[in-house]
Amino acid sequence: MHLSTSLSIWIAAFLTLGIFSFLYRDNPVYKLCEHLFVGVSAGYYVVLTMTSSVWPDMIEPLFKHFSANSNYLLLVPLFLSILLFSRFFPRGDWLSRWPIAFILGVYPALRITGFGQGDLVEQIHGTILPLWVPGDLGTTIGNVLLIVGLLSTLIFFFFSKEHKGALGGAARLGVYFLMVSFGASYGYTVMARVSLLIGRVMFLLDNWLGVLRF
Amino acid sequence: MSVLSALRSLDRRWIFLGVALLVIAPLVFGFHIAPVLPSHRSKGYYDAIERVPEGSTVLFAGDYDPGTSAENYPMALATARHLMRRNLKIVALELYPAGPPLMDQVFRIAGAEYNKRANVDYVNLGYKVGNEIVMSSMGTSIPATFPVDNNGVPVTQIPVMKGIQNFQQIKLIVSVSAGYPGTKEWVQQVVSRFHVPMVAGVTAVSAPEYYPYLQAGQLQGLLGGMAGAAEYEVLLHKPALATRGMDAQSLAHVFIAFMIILGNLAFLPQRKKERS
């Protein structure tokens, strides 16, 4: 056993155990750790955004190299950013709608085009598969399952006609495919949560207590 | 009180204790249950990096933070080792605010092992706010999107950035991602538009979301959670954090599956009674 002599490791270990203490019951130590996390995260985010984006991308080009590089266009985001702060003043808070409208205009456009190119077209392309692959039974079964699963799941989400008869049967099959998908997602979620626990346990046993044996 | 009714009223803290003991025991006593066997997904990840010509530039997006570092950190470290072993130049960036120090740590460790120097063999451009806008903007100009690196050094003065203008000079994108913004956005904004090959290492909870991308060929390889990272470490012949955690992972999974079955058995008679 080699106990850590680093103060930062001891603080991290205390915070980890403090958060874990919630598993027993809610307590003041847990609340302290939680509040510390929220406060530190918010402070870190503000400082990082200032130093990594606002300062090098706007302040410096505007106030240090303005005339040299003709960064006139940067006045537009600066103006819009200032307008965002009008929310603090009830008489002029409507001004903040302009930058918000700008953000709302840009983001959906980017995401819709990205979804159209990356998901819709490419995914349809990815399902155009041969249903019979000579000499490869595994791929054949996989392709058939994929196509049947895709069509039946799509039918399940088709609500313009009552799910009866053949349509109802196909929709029911789609439910089974969805169930398998939810099961796989749940299994992966368990794995993710256990991995996080292992990460913290490794930290406590190795970095803090020094008892880990590999 | 019967066994089943006792199970129904079992304090959940006993289950927490059981999981904790099963996670701690293999780590402390160092016993192994089963070998880690690489899947075709992790082989695809490994092969895609192997295919990149030596000396080429790889974009390494470390979009994660301490919340998922147990899963993402081992895969990021293994990837950095692989890229450096292959003498590939690395241009790293992060779209998660807490990502830069984690990626710095990865490059410090791997760089020391393979004698690679910051700014000469690799650069960490750091964090930039803007999510998809950053990705899209990099398609026009990477130096304009990241005028300085994580330490404030202008990219024009960084040797590894020489000749890097946009995605045309990038031979492979590696996305180690915890969620949004991450792998999905890189596929949507960059792979589909600029046709750069890409591999991804993702958290287990988000892995099922990326299987369609792998199946459609938009991703060349995929590491899902700690298991994926362990498979990759085995392929690299360098067992590390993820491989060591897999025995604890397996034991905890068996216990949870057992408790799910037991829980259902305990509640089945009660449900039957309620129905009748």
Q: Which fold has domain B40-239?
A: Rossmann fold (3.40.50)
Interface of A with B in 141-200 (CB under 8 A): 146, 181, 184-185, 188-200
> What is the rounded average pLDDT of the residues B94-114?
96
Q: What percentage of chain B exceeds 90 in pLDDT?
A: 86
How buried is residue B91: exposed, middle or buried, by Cβ count under 10 Å (0-12/13-18/19+)? buried
Half-sphere exposure of B46 (CA within 13 A, CB side): 18
Task: Determine contact, residues B50/B121, Cβ cutoff 8 Å.
Answer: no
Residue A214 has pLDDT above 70, yes or no: no
Q: Do B189 and A110 touch (CB under 8 A)?
A: yes
Look at residue A67 in the predicted model and tell me its pLDDT. Answer: 65
- Give pLDDT tens digits for A91-144: 889 999 999 999 999 989 989 999 998 999 999 999 999 999 999 999 999 999
Residue B109 has pLDDT above 70, yes or no: yes
| Global pTM value | 0.91
Distance of alpha carbon B31 from the chain centroid: 25
- Give pLDDT tens digits for A27-77: 999 999 999 999 999 999 999 889 888 888 888 888 877 666 667 888 899
Residue A200's pLDDT band, with cuts at 50, 70 and 90, is very high
Out of A123, A184, A199, whose CB is closest to B70?
A: A199
Residue A199 has pLDDT above 90, yes or no: yes
Look at residue B156 in the predicted model and tell me its pLDDT. Answer: 93
Residue B29 has pLDDT above 70, yes or no: yes
What Cα–Cα distance (Å) separates residue B76 from each residue in A48, B1, B72, B122?
22, 52, 6, 14
Top pLDDT among B8 and B20 is at B20
Look at residue A64 in the predicted model and tell me its pLDDT. Answer: 77
Q: Do A201 and B203 touch (CB under 8 A)?
A: no
Residue B84 has pLDDT above 80, yes or no: yes
Mutation target among A26, A195, A200, A213 for the B interface, most CBs of B within 10 A: A195
Domain limits, chain B: 3-31+247-275, 40-239
What Cα–Cα distance (Å) separates residue A91 from each residue in A88, A95, A97, B222?
9, 9, 13, 53
What Cα–Cα distance (Å) separates residue A145 from each residue in A129, A130, A132?
11, 12, 12
Angle between helices B225-235 and A165-202 (to 10 degrees): 70
What Cα–Cα distance (Å) separates residue B161 from each residue in A48, B101, B164, B257?
23, 20, 5, 50
Chain B contact present for A105, CB below 8 A: no
How buried is residue B90: exposed, middle or buried, by Cβ count under 10 Å (0-12/13-18/19+)? buried
Look at residue A66 in the predicted model and tell me its pLDDT. Answer: 67
Look at residue A181 in the predicted model and tell me its pLDDT. Answer: 94
Of the candidates B180, B176, B208, B186, the residue with the CA atom closest to the CA atom of residue B74: B176
Look at residue B271 in the predicted model and tell me its pLDDT. Answer: 83
Phi, psi of A13 (to 5 degrees): -65, -40
ipTM score here? 0.90
For residue A29, the SS3 value is helix
